[in-house]
């Protein structure tokens, strides 16, 4: 690649990596721009370049799934709620399936964090008598736990009452 193409690739990688809420769209946009857009460089991306863009999207997916499973984030403007984590996890799995990637790193981290999130939430609702921040239905939460291979243990039986109807 010539210098201007390297700069363009770095710019597009950055856009994919820090793409906001839907990394797959940024990934597909970058691929389209590089390979098919009339105003793009009309390149054939190397396997390494393609993998770098996939990894950037995968890393961004990881961040946005995990962000909303960190209970300490709930008072921050970046927090979107556990429902968003569930939705982003489903998007991640579909992206990984289409791109032949392994979502295991995110799944394992989410599986570790979900019980911690729920324990903290149950404890805080009891202690402070505040409304729950859980913004999904119990069915959605149960399905998420099943997807992560995390049993919703007896200590979380109250969570059903915290969930949206």
pLDDT single digits (tens) 2-29:
445 555 888 889 898 988 889 999 999 9
Residue with tokens 């863009």: 53
Instruction: Check whether 99 has a pLDDT greater than 80.
Output: yes
Query: What pLDDT is stored for residue 2 in this prediction?
Result: 46
Contact yes or no for 96/102 (Cβ under 8 A): yes
Tokens of 109: 């981290």
In the structure, what pLDDT confidence band is assigned to residue 165 with cuts at 50, 70 and 90?
low
79 sits in the region (left: phi over 0; alpha: psi -120 to 50; else beta) called: beta
pLDDT digits (tens, 9 = 90+) for 42-75: 999 999 999 999 999 999 999 999 999 999 999 9
The vertex-149 CA angle with 147 and 152, nearest 5°, equals 100
pLDDT digits (tens, 9 = 90+) for 106-137: 999 999 999 999 999 999 999 999 999 999 99
Which residues does 29 contact at the CB level (< 8 Å), separation at least 6?
15
């Amino acid at each position: 690649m010539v210098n201007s193409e390297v700069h363009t690739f770095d710019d597009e990688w950055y856009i994919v990596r820090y793409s906001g809420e839907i990394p797959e769209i940024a990934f597909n946009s970058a691929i389209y721009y590089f390979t098919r857009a009339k105003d793009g460089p009309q390149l054939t991306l190397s396997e390494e370049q393609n993998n770098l863009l996939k990894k950037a999207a995968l890393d961004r997916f990881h961040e946005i799934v995990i962000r909303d499973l960190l209970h300490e984030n709930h008072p921050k403007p970046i927090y979107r709620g556990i429902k968003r984590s569930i939705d982003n996890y489903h998007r991640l799995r579909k992206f990984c399936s289409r791109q032949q990637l392994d979502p295991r790193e995110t799944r394992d981290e989410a599986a570790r964090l979900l019980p911690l999130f729920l324990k903290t939430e149950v404890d805080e609702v009891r202690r402070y008598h505040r409304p729950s921040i859980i913004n999904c239905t119990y069915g959605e939460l149960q399905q998420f736990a099943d997807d992560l291979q995390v049993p919703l243990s007896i200590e979380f039986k109250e969570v059903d009452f915290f969930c949206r109807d």
